[in-house]
Amino acid sequence: MNEYKIIGKPFSGLDKAHKTIAMQKPYFTEIPNIDKMFVGTINLNIFPNLIKPLQFDYFVDPIDWGFGFLESFGFSKIKVEYSSQKFDGYLYFPSESPHFKNKYFFDYLEIMCEYIPDFKSSLEFSIYINKSKIDVYERI
């Protein structure tokens, strides 16, 4: 992987996504190791950086997963580094989310990853992305 390290600060939820991962995961069976991912997301502020997905590793075509509208999902493989350990994960891009719809550059991310023991949302952590599939910019 053409890795690039981004350091960020976790922050509390994006409001509307309570329990949605549990409802969506049954539709993600084609995504490798999805069953090992924690049922929830970590929200990461990467300011002053911005990212722009160029090519998803996995894409789920539009599905109606529970609220009467169709939504597609993009997933980009990442590694999450926390407390000197690395965990497999994905950047998670729900197309109809009010936080992601019609956006192309992101300074906050939703991350699905393996369970992280003793995770504290007050501590910074790092993600490693594939630069050939995700552009990274520094906000001026």
d(CA 64, CA 126): 33
Q: What is the pLDDT of residues 88-130, one digit of tens each?
A: 999 999 887 756 666 667 888 999 999 998 888 777 889 999 9
What CATH number does the domain located at 3-138 have? 2.40.30.30
pLDDT surpassing 60 at residue 64: yes
CA dihedral (30, 31, 33, 34) positive or negative: negative
pLDDT surpassing 80 at residue 9: yes
Does this model's pTM top 0.85? yes
Mean pLDDT of the chain: 87
pLDDT surpassing 60 at residue 16: no
H/E segment holding residue 9: strand 3-11
Task: Tell me what pLDDT residue 60 has.
Answer: 95
CA dihedral (52, 58, 61, 67) positive or negative: negative
